[in-house]
Amino acid sequence: MSDDSDRCPSGSDDEPPQTGRPTPACRVLADDGPTPACRVLANNNLISVDVVENGGDWTAIADPALAVQEAARAAAGFPEAGLAGTSAAIALAGDAEVATLNASYRGKPAPTNVLSFPAPAMPAGCENGERFLGDIILAAETVTREAAELGIPPEHHLQHLVIHGLLHLSGFDHDDDEAAHHMETLETRILATLAIPDPYEYAPEPAAT
């Protein structure tokens, strides 16, 4: 699997695992099992996000779960993002948990800021339910450290990574310059609705991973 960290903010390594592998975030981090893949839609114009809080030092952000929900709702407000009528599981974890997953699924035994794991196709009979996109897992200590290095609020960095991960789950990528420009432009537009400046204006060279 190729390393796409040169396109992700601050060296994100959020490539999905190989096709057919299970989505890990809720299965690994939550005691109550995986997020349901099919549920009745409460409002097909919104995204439903289950936030799992499992470890990591998130004290630098007043309410990280709320920040995640706000970022997801902002992204779902853009039809071109393809997020309306979907659901996702987002795990707020720590470097240790993310390093374990990064080693298991990507062969890189080190933490990174965000990992995205797309879900398998919707099961039969769920056509009128939420389309479960998959899992996103974030590492608190890495997110906080990167924000400090960039000189930006950690909440802004978290929300950017959530939006970036959701767009990956929705099918966006940055495999070439055109795709990268399209994805980064949409991220910037979504972040502007949260009063967050363009993150690609201050992004440093990606860290070696």
- pLDDT (mean) for 127-137: 78
Of 52-56, 66-70, 92-96, 144-148, give the lowest mean pLDDT range. 52-56
Task: Give the fold, CATH level 3, of 9-195.
Answer: Collagenase (Catalytic Domain) (3.40.390)
pLDDT band at 30 (very low <50, low <70, confident <90, very high): very low
In terms of DSSP H, where are the helices of the chain? Answer: 25-29, 64-76, 95-106, 140-150, 154-170, 177-192
Question: What does the block give as tokens for 192?
Answer: 């502007």
What is residue 158's predicted lDDT score, i.e. its pLDDT? Answer: 97
Contact 78, 37 (CB under 8 A): no
Contact 98, 145 (CB under 8 A): no
Dihedral angle sign, alpha carbons of residues 143, 193, 167, 6: negative
CA angle 41, 45, 48 (to 5 degrees): 55
Chain centre distance of CA 109? 19
Radius of gyration of the chain (CA): 16
Burial of 68 (0-12, 13-18, 19+ CB in 10 A): buried
pLDDT at 8 over 70: no
For the question of whether the overall pTM of this predicted structure is more than 0.75, the answer is yes
- For residue 138, what is the enclosing H or E element? strand 131-139
What is residue 126's predicted lDDT score, i.e. its pLDDT? Answer: 57
Question: What does the block give as tokens for 34?
Answer: 């995986």
Contact 161, 143 (CB under 8 A): yes
Q: Is 55 left (phi over 0), alpha (psi -120 to 50) or beta?
A: left
What is residue 114's predicted lDDT score, i.e. its pLDDT? Answer: 93
What is residue 127's predicted lDDT score, i.e. its pLDDT? Answer: 56
> What does the mean pLDDT of the chain come to?
78
| DSSP assignment string, 36-57 | PS--B-S-TTSEEEEEEE-SS-
pLDDT band at 74 (very low <50, low <70, confident <90, very high): very high
Question: What does the block give as tokens for 198?
Answer: 């363009």
